[in-house]
Chain A
Amino acid sequence: AQTVTQSQPEMSVQEAETVTLSCTYDTSESDYYLFWYKQPPSRQMILVIRQEAYKQQNATENRFSVNFQKAAKSFSLKISDSQLGDAAMYFCAYRSPLIQGAQKLVFGQGTRLTINP
């Protein structure tokens, strides 16, 4: 079974600085998808960024980028120029192979990110 591990329960960063959140996963599949979701205090799960395993190029979305190391099964999230609105719980997720036409997400335990003004 696939597992996702986020080893940092909490992180903090100064506003405007850069922070990196770690994620490792375990799978025997070669083709899969990885995601970072953000959950602010409102508790709405918001997609931050996604990465296709078959793509070597790291995904980027504005201030958010990933460092995808397929051989090491590592998928870290870098947030540049941190803003107060980035404060949230961040979940790393792995999409398992389709089961009867539907996908299943496996989540890590989450990293709570605090932004210090």
Chain B
Amino acid sequence: DTEVTQTPKHLVMGMTNKKSLKCEQHMGHRAMYWYKQKAKKPPELMFVYSYEKLSINESVPSRFSPECPNSSLLNLHLHALQPEDSALYLCASSPHRTSGGAIPQETQYFGPGTRLLVL
């Protein structure tokens, strides 16, 4: 099972709304990622969680707030967004080094994304 799920599929929100995006994986992966993708552009990394701890924040504005409640779940809380934040938000996960010290698998598995429109 290499499935990463994301909800909702589509989201329309006003600039004063508060909403959350959800990402879930049950592959036992210990690294999870949020990307933002504008049309006809490659994904841009926003945040990386490793073992439920935030390890990378790519200077993302504070109106985006990530949360990793457990190893299977990743949230992205949205507040006071701007119209230019409208994009596809992709979640991904990847395996990590095993307790035996084996080389970690190097592949990120992506979810289907949430299409966000900010009015």
CA distance A52 to B107 in the complex (A): 11
CA distance A109 to B49 in the complex (A): 25
Q: Which residues of B (70-119) have their CB < 8 Å from a CB of A? A: 88, 90, 92, 94, 96-97, 104, 106-113, 115
Of B43, B51, B104, B106, most A-chain CB atoms within 10 Å? B106
When distances are taken between beta carbons in the complex, the residues of chain A under 8 Å from B13 are: none
Closest to B31 in A: A102
Closest to A9 in B: B40
What sequence of 0s and 1s flags, for each residue 59-97 of chain A, a beta carbon within 8 Å of any chain B beta carbon?
A: 000000000000000000000000000000101000100
When distances are taken between beta carbons in the complex, the residues of chain B under 8 Å from A95 are: 106
Question: Given known contacts A35-B107, A44-B110, A45-B43, is B56 in contact with A99 (CB within 8 Å)?
Answer: yes
Interface residues of B toward A: which range?
Answer: 20 to 34
Q: Are B109 and A47 in contact (CB under 8 A)?
A: yes
Chain A contributes a number of interface residues (CB within 8 A of B) equal to: 26
Q: Are B112 and A43 in contact (CB under 8 A)?
A: yes
Q: Are A108 and B106 in contact (CB under 8 A)?
A: no
CA distance A33 to B113 in the complex (A): 24
Closest to B47 in A: A102
CA distance A35 to B109 in the complex (A): 12
Q: Are A100 and B55 in contact (CB under 8 A)?
A: yes
Of A101, A104, A107, most B-chain CB atoms within 10 Å? A101
Q: Which are the 8 A-B pairs with shortest beta-carbon distances?
A: A107-B42, A45-B110, A100-B55, A101-B50, A102-B50, A33-B106, A102-B48, A102-B31
10 CB < 8 A contacts A-B:
A35-B107, A42-B112, A43-B112, A47-B108, A102-B33, A102-B49, A102-B55, A104-B56, A105-B43, A109-B41
Binding site for A on B (CB under 8 A): 30-31, 33, 37, 40-43, 45, 48-51, 55-56, 88, 90, 92, 94, 96-97, 104, 106-113, 115
